[in-house]
Amino acid sequence: MSLPARASAAALSAATALTLATACNMLPDEGPDATAPYAGLTAPEVVNKALAATRAAKSVRMTVRTATPEGPVEAYVATDIRGECTVTLSMGAAGTLELVRTDGTVRTRSDAAMLRSASPPQAKNLTGRWVEPTTADRHAKLAERYCDWETFLGGLAPKTGTARKRWTSAAASGTPALTVTGRTDDGKWTADIATEGRPFLLRLRLPRGGTGDGTAPVSVEFSEFDKPFKANSPKP
């Protein structure tokens, strides 16, 4: 084969490999993104931009999924910069707890299963009643911890240096998003960041964090940024 022919074959092979890598989302993040809305930014810079925007939100809703030794955990949270917060925390067989924090006062309401799983078990006549939790109520502590979205953002912030942009996708909300991944000693993390409007963090998956001991993987979906809400103080 002549030299020009060999060169043409090599160029064709390289082009084919590049096309396949692109189609399979295999290209690493070697430098700044040249496309809007993050033109000129590296993956770590994009994540830091998302952290700043999300921290600056006046309010947010979160859906948290993780696990504890008592079983799977699912929490629905609405919270704002004033400290107002509502949480519905379900812990599998351990039961369900609702929490409202308003004007600095915390009250919780538990179903029968949650009261039985408390340590020590709480009185049955408290089922469905709003009470001020004791300092020993670990379920209430976990629910109130979710009122602060820094619980999760703080888990991502030290990891931004490992970020790599991968592909554009659609988050659970349907908002177009850039997916960014990274890996640390804890494992792989993934963040979906809005590519329309403000660069809010839409979804976060961390290999650990979010529970009382912080050892279980956690996923968080963020939505309804800056949407006003009021946590009404329940009557005991």
Q: What is the pLDDT of residues 28-72, one digit of tens each?
A: 454 455 556 787 899 999 999 999 999 999 999 999 999 988 789
Sheet strands (E) in 11-135: 59-68, 71-80, 85-90, 96-102, 105-110, 130-131
Q: Look-up: residue for tokens 């993934």?
A: 190
pLDDT digits (tens, 9 = 90+) for 66-92: 998 878 999 999 999 999 999 999 988
The answer to whether 189 touches 183, Cβ cutoff 8 Å, is yes
What is the distance, to the nearest Å, from the Cα of residue 39 to the centroid of all Cα atoms in its chain? Answer: 25
State residue 49's pLDDT score: 94
How far apart, in whole angstroms, are the C-alpha atoms of residue 222 and residue 77? 10
Neighbours of 144 (CB within 10 A): 18
pLDDT digits (tens, 9 = 90+) for 207-229: 987 676 668 899 999 999 999 88
Q: How large is the average pLDDT for residues 92-120?
A: 87
Q: Which two tokens stand for residue 158?
A: 């030290």
Least confident range of 21-25, 37-41, 110-114, 155-159: 21-25
Query: Computed from CA positions of residues 57, 58, 61, 64, in that sequence, does the dihedral angle turn out positive or negative?
Result: positive
For 65, residues 6+ apart whose C-beta sits below 8 A from its C-beta are 72, 73, 74, 75, 218, 219, 220
Residues near 84 by beta carbon (within 8 Å), at least 6 away in sequence:
101, 102, 229, 230, 231
Average pLDDT, the chain: 82
In this predicted structure, what is the pLDDT of residue 26?
36
The percentage of the chain sitting over the pLDDT mark of 90, rounded to a whole number, equals 50
